[in-house]
Amino acid sequence: MKRTKVFVALLFILSFVFVGAACAAEGPETWIVGFSQIGAESEWRNANTFSVQHAIGEDPTFLLVFSDAQQKQENQIKALRSFIARGVDVIAFTALVETGYGPVLQEAKDAGIPVIMIDRDVAVEDRHLRLTIMGSDFVEEGRKAANWLAGYLKEKGLDDGATQVNIVELQGTVGSAPAIERKQGFEEIMNASHPNWAIVRSQTGNFTRSEGKAVMEAFLKAERNIDVLYAHNDDMALGAIQAIEEAGLKPGVDIIIIGVDAVKGAFAEILAGRMNVTVECSP
């Protein structure tokens, strides 16, 4: 009888131990997520911020700590250090440029805080320091832009395979993953299959409408025959459209305009015939 009582008591205690262990394995009741966004340079970026804030805001088990780096890498590094000091449960961040985050990612790893990249990744040599990435295939977006151009030129009888097709390129932020990879994907198709295409001017417009306009103005002054504009995002294409109109040319007709992102502003221009295509990138 005594033995049975001891056994029942033991079972009772063990059940508490196991339930307690199961609860501990499930993690905290509220997960604190530190999110470092790079800024608000484009329509796409604003949609991305909205998406993250709403996904986390709608779930009561998450608490978001948001930081806007205003396009400065040093602000991002400061934000990541403050998340580590606060002891957040998870860090999410978009890397303004690919390099320069190694030491701070190492600090997060040493503190046991998982880092999830959103949109833009870090350089290959630092990828072992982050847990994973949720983002797009920027190389494929560049390939899609070039393949669309090939089809369009063919359909319109504008490419005989010999006459040079003059392309100007508005690059994204120097050193950022989408600027590097969208260029890479486009050039991969161009170099493999279109030897008569030439990128005659290429400069950064920093993914913004105002810089896209200013750089396109400079391109138009320097180049007489521009057949195509390849802009690494729609905002720069939208700025360039203004510059082209102000130069007395018809965007979308005199110059073929290719953007990336598929934001509302680009669709409005496509419907108005001032832009030709945008490659989708989901925010």
Secondary structure class of 122 (helix, strand, coil): coil
Q: Is 188 exposed, middle or buried (0-12, 13-18, 19+ CB in 10 A)?
A: middle
**Rounded CA Rg of the chain:** 25
The least CB distance from residue 15 to ligand AHR, in Å, is 50
Tokens 């999110």 sit on residue: 35
The least CB distance from residue 169 to ligand AHR, in Å, is 14
The least CB distance from residue 120 to ligand AHR, in Å, is 5
How many Å from the N-terminal Cα to the C-terminal Cα in the chain?
67
State how far the alpha carbon of 209 is from the alpha carbons of 39, 40, 148, 238, 255, in Å.
Answer: 14, 12, 23, 6, 18
Task: Compare residues 40 and 150 and give the one whose CB is closer to ligand AHR.
Answer: 40
Give the largest Cα separation in the chain, rounded.
102
The least CB distance from residue 252 to ligand AHR, in Å, is 20
Task: Compare residues 41 and 126 and give the one whose CB is closer to ligand AHR.
Answer: 41
Q: How many CB atoms lie within 10 A of CB 32?
A: 16
Residues of this chain that bind ligand AHR (CB under 6 A):
41-42, 44-45, 119-120, 178, 207, 233, 235, 260-261, 281
Q: Which bin fits 172, alpha (ψ -120 to 50), beta or left (φ > 0)?
A: beta
Q: Is 90 exposed, middle or buried (0-12, 13-18, 19+ CB in 10 A)?
A: middle
The least CB distance from residue 191 to ligand AHR, in Å, is 23
Task: Compare residues 168 and 263 and give the one whose CB is closer to ligand AHR.
Answer: 263
Closest CA to 163 of 192, 194, 202, 193: 194
Task: Compare residues 178 and 239 and give the one whose CB is closer to ligand AHR.
Answer: 178
The least CB distance from residue 178 to ligand AHR, in Å, is 4
Q: How far apart are CA 102 and CA 49, in angstroms?
A: 24
Task: Compare residues 44 and 219 and give the one whose CB is closer to ligand AHR.
Answer: 44
The least CB distance from residue 11 to ligand AHR, in Å, is 56
Task: Compare residues 84 and 170 and give the one whose CB is closer to ligand AHR.
Answer: 170
Closest CA to 276 of 145, 171, 142, 163: 145
Task: Compare residues 142 and 178 and give the one whose CB is closer to ligand AHR.
Answer: 178
The least CB distance from residue 45 to ligand AHR, in Å, is 5
Task: Compare residues 35 and 207 and give the one whose CB is closer to ligand AHR.
Answer: 207
